[in-house]
Amino acid sequence: MKIGIVFGGRSEEHPVSVKSAREVAKHLDTGKYEPYYVGITRNGAWRLCDGPDGEWEDGGRPVVLSPDRDARGLLVLDDGRYRTIDLDVVLPVLHGKQGEDGAVQGLLELSGIPYAGCDVQSSALCMDKSLTYLVARSAGVATPEFRTLTAGEHVDPDRLTYPVFVKPARSGSSFGVGKVTRAEDLATAVDAARRYDSKVLIEEAVVGSEIGCAILGNDGELVAGEVDRIALSHGFFRIHQESEPENGSENSVAIVPADIPAESRALVRETAKTVYRALGCRGLARVDMFLTEDGTVVLNEVNTLPGLTSYSRYPRMMAAAGLSLGDVIDRVVSLAVPGAVR
């Protein structure tokens, strides 16, 4: 199969995407796939390159994904002329804005090329935490109490009960997230969040363990990886912003399988599946939740293209359930193009 692997992108999660693509390259079975690596630079230029290693942003050839179904695939500029490279499927290894929010998925829908992962609608819903919460609530899943601030909107800090978390509504990897314990610090936290999104979420701080569940599949047939628990020494989970996450986190340890009771583990898995189905997810996603002392599961967020780096939670949870990253790639491609992978 000719598989296009798109990585990089213009979001703040560009470096994480490149690391994820490197892991995909290591685990991709070249006996099954002929990969074409398309790196998107921080400035938005598309480059056909040999892979996500090295100085790919400074090299490679200009390339675009054709939205024309009569020229289905990549259009590569060679010697002043474009030639077409047909693709059987695309694996978007992109995180954050313009990659995980439905933008690239919409381009792929126009192109007619099958692609792995969530579609336009579910990608957009999951990217916006406030919309995620509304849909999850309608499915009977508990969420934090929250309010949103649009551009230019303000809130009286004395009307809130602290602590609260302030977040960009449509961002990932904890960029722009702040915990506020005093009314006088709220404005600074809102300004920090607005660096990443004009829409800001203010939500109650849920007291409980941070729990995650990796989901793989479409519709009714879903596979759940082992549940994990994030053990924090201080602060909150933000490993993708640390200087050397490959060597361990500064304040967190992911425990897989989670050291929680069996009945809680089962409830976490079923809640994750409920959220996944309610939001229309397909292919793969990681559902992050809280487990409170009374055993209640509360949704935190959904990542429709979770990190696939060497230190990321999704591949670790799937590995603990017996699926390597190579297995995961095969399965998400098979879900996009049924019967294509043997």
Residues labelled as active-site residues: 16, 19, 95, 240, 246, 286, 307, 311
**Contact between 326 and 28 (Cβ < 8 Å):** yes
Q: What is the dihedral of CA 238, 243, 245, 246, to 10 degrees?
A: 170
Rounded Cα–Cα distance for residues 105 and 120 (Å): 5
Task: Kindly state the tokens that stand for 337.
Answer: 């193009």
Residues with Cβ within 8 Å of 183's Cβ and at least 6 positions away in sequence, in order, are 157, 158, 160, 162
Residue 35's identity, in one-letter code, is P
Q: What is the dihedral of CA 94, 247, 51, 12, to 10 degrees?
A: 30
Buried b (16+ CB within 10 A) or exposed e, 286-314: bbbbbbeeeeebbbbbbbbbbbbbebbbb
Q: How many CA atoms lie within 13 A of 335 on its CB side?
A: 23
